[in-house]
């Protein structure tokens, strides 16, 4: 049950983030959920491999490369979906920042339960 709530909250974060960030559009809440699941899957597969390959550079830049990989995964999903559009790298970067902040607010309000 917690997994489903996490998916719905991440979709809500993407939907709100798309409304806040200029240059990003999502056609509906259902498409926001699909986009968030696809971005999570891309981060878990391709992003994981890229993070392993770029570990030394990521270590030297204190995680900046990891953020860039996340932005690239957003752009990858943007190319896969017609209902989710970003105007470029900067818009995708701002979307990643806004979604991370919204998810942090959600987890602070809900609290972490083991």
Q: Is residue 41 part of a domain?
A: yes
The count of structural domains within the chain is 1
Q: Is residue 9 part of a domain?
A: yes
Residue 62 confidence (pLDDT) above 80: yes
Q: Is residue 64 part of a domain?
A: yes
Q: Is residue 8 part of a domain?
A: yes
Q: Is residue 113 part of a domain?
A: no
Question: pLDDT (tens digit, 9 = 90+) per residue, 73-96?
Answer: 999 999 999 999 999 999 999 999
What domain range is 6 assigned to? 1-106
Q: Is 95 exposed, middle or buried (0-12, 13-18, 19+ CB in 10 A)?
A: buried
Q: Is residue 112 part of a domain?
A: no
Q: Is residue 102 part of a domain?
A: yes
pLDDT given for residue 114 in this prediction: 54
Question: What's the predicted TM-score (pTM) here?
Answer: 0.90
Nearest 5°: CA angle at 50, between 19 and 92? 15
pLDDT given for residue 112 in this prediction: 65
Question: pLDDT (tens digit, 9 = 90+) per residue, 3-35?
Answer: 898 899 999 999 999 999 999 999 999 999 999
Are the C-beta atoms of residues 88 and 11 closer than 8 Å to each other? no
């Amino acid at each position: 049950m917690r997994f489903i709530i996490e998916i719905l909250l991440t979709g809500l974060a993407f939907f709100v983030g798309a409304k806040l960030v200029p240059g990003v559009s999502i056609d509906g809440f259902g498409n926001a959920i699909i986009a968030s699941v696809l971005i999570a899957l891309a981060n878990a597969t391709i992003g994981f491999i890229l993070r392993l390959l770029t570990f030394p550079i990521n270590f030297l830049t204190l995680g900046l490369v990891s953020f860039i990989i996340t932005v690239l995964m957003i752009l990858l999903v943007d190319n896969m979906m017609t209902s989710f559009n970003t105007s470029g790298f900067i818009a995708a970067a701002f979307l990643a920042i806004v979604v991370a902040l919204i998810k942090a607010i959600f987890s602070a309000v809900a609290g972490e339960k083991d």
